[in-house]
Structure 1
Amino acid sequence: MPLEVAVLIHRRSPRVRRSAVAAAVAAALLALGACESGGDKKAEAGGSKGPGVVAPGKPGQPARTLSPEEAAKEAPDDSPNSADFAYAQMMIVHHGQALEMAGLAGERAGSTPVKRLAERIEAAQKPEIGAMNGWLKTNGGAKRQQGHDHGTMPGMATEAQLTQLRAARGAAFDELFLKLMITHHQGAITMATDALSQGNNILIEEMAADVIAQQTSEMNRMRSM
């Protein structure tokens, strides 16, 4: 009895197709390893040729059953491109400013909700910086872009605004913090959206999608505050 791995691939997104093909290949290879000895005996007896990957065809065309080797050859290359490296390098700096602003809230914020929001921002973005630094190290990328003015990134507060925030206390701090952080989150979402459309690496895509989901939620919370 042949073993097949059926994969449903979303036709609207090349990125989803790429992830699905990769998952299908991995599943097929695992299945192949699990039944290698039994499969060899069946093959010798004229039985199954081994596990396959069912790949949906183009509109109007039938699905195809591929061997793991064929599926691996057809899987798109997700090697990082310049947009992936630029996103990681710039978002590390972008997150760094968010942490700087959030770090001021403990002693300056006037309301408990603002302090708790700042704590959540720190708890989320510190690990994300670590993940992006790790990704750059693994892929041989520099931690910072050379010759790039990071102050021009979307949503970045100016030095004058940061000086004003450092000097504020109580309700004045809360209001300015929320305004600056909403703008900062909007900028991060813009950068993450660009990475999804221009990048090529699956891990960067996942990190960018997480930024969009999390910061959209936080931004809505801040607007209600």
Structure 2
Amino acid sequence: MASRRFLVRRTAALAATATAAVVLAACGSDDSSSSSEHSGHDMGALSSASASATASAAQGSHNAQDVSFAQGMIPHHRQAVAMADLTPSRAKSQQVKDLAAKIKQAQDPEINTMSGWLTAWGEKVPDAGMDHSSMPGMMSDDDMGKLKDLSGDAFDKAFVQMMISHHQGAIEMAKTEQAKGTYGPAKTMAESIVTSQSAEITEMNKLLGKS
């Protein structure tokens, strides 16, 4: 009788242990699944946040080409403005005077904009008196001196010829910025320079009697 009661108790204990094991296994499975789901959700959120941070950091970023573009184009523009400033007292053609006024009106604000970029980046703004004649399309001091000595038809012809070369140099520099720069506003300005100065070259060629 005692032996029979022992067997009943042992069977009940084994059944309880098995039930507990099943329950624990089920709980473990739920926890694992839940943990996996949360882990996947967290990883996705982190990836999204990382991508957002990268995009935010990239926005407004600049590279060495952007700095080079601004530091080169500022003196380039300054010389074009200096050439344009000679026209009111020396040019004969009203078309040349109008062209010079348009060039100055476009390039003066761009000088200020690029100077602001360099200041914001902690880079040096080129000094007005520095020699930059090695840049594409830039006139030498001798060229500028000869232009100042001219007037009338001779000035008009020399101004247009020199400004065509000057614009071609600026377009070359702008295309380099378009290809290698990363700063959005600088690339946009470069595109504008290519478009506007290409149109002005066409206009100046017509003034020279070229198609």
Give the alignment's TM-score, normalised by structure 2. 0.70
Structure 2 distance, partners of 1:70, 1:163, is 57
- Which string of whole-angstrom CA distances, capped at 9 and with x for unpartnered residues, describes residues 32-55 of structure 1? xxxxxxxxxxxxxxxxxxxxxxxx
Structure 2 distance, partners of 1:207, 1:71, is 28
- Correspondence for 2:63: 81
Q: Taking every aligned residue pair, what percent have the same amino acid on both sides? A: 40
Q: Which runs of 5+ in 1 are unaligned?
A: 1-66
- Correspondence for 1:133: 115
- Which string of whole-angstrom CA distances, capped at 9 and with x for unpartnered residues, describes residues 77-127 of structure 1? 252111110110110000000011000000000110000100001100000
- The equivalent position to 1:213 in structure 2, one of 183, 192, 195, is 195
Query: Which structure shows the bigger proportion of residues in strand conformation?
Result: 1
RMSD: 1.9
- The equivalent position to 1:168 in structure 2, one of 133, 147, 150, is 150
The offset of 1:153, in angstroms, is 0.3
The offset of 1:74, in angstroms, is 5.5
Structure 1 distance, partners of 2:80, 2:200, is 13
Matched position secondary structure for 1:144: coil
- The equivalent position to 2:174 in structure 1, one of 170, 192, 195, is 192
Query: Which structure shows the bigger proportion of residues in helix conformation?
Result: 2
Structure 1 distance, partners of 2:147, 2:69, is 27
Within 5 A, what are the aligned runs for 1:30-179?
A: 69=49, 71-73=51-53, 75=55, 77=58, 79-144=61-126, 150-179=132-161
Structure 1 distance, partners of 2:131, 2:105, is 27
Letter matched to residue 107 of structure 2: Q
Structure 1 distance, partners of 2:180, 2:200, is 25
- Correspondence for 1:222: 204
Structure 1 distance, partners of 2:102, 2:181, is 28
Pair 174,68 (structure 1): closer, same or farther in 2 beyond 3 Å: farther
Letter matched to residue 133 of structure 2: G
Matched position secondary structure for 1:152: coil
Letter matched to residue 184 of structure 1: H
Pair 160,149 (structure 1): closer, same or farther in 2 beyond 3 Å: closer
Structure 1 distance, partners of 2:79, 2:131, is 14
Structure 1 distance, partners of 2:90, 2:131, is 29
Structure 2 distance, partners of 1:133, 1:104, is 24
Matched position secondary structure for 1:156: coil
Which runs of structure 1 show a deviation greater than 6 angstroms over 4 or more consecutive aligned residues?
A: none
Matched position secondary structure for 2:86: helix
The offset of 1:135, in angstroms, is 1.1
Q: Which runs of 5+ in 2 are unaligned?
A: 1-46
Give the alignment's TM-score, normalised by structure 1. 0.65
Matched position secondary structure for 1:115: helix
Structure 2 distance, partners of 1:106, 1:144, is 27
Matched position secondary structure for 2:58: coil
Pair 149,194 (structure 1): closer, same or farther in 2 beyond 3 Å: farther
Pair 71,121 (structure 1): closer, same or farther in 2 beyond 3 Å: same
Whichever of the two has the greater Rg, that structure is 2
- Which is bigger in relative contact order (C-alpha 8 A, separation at least 6)? 2
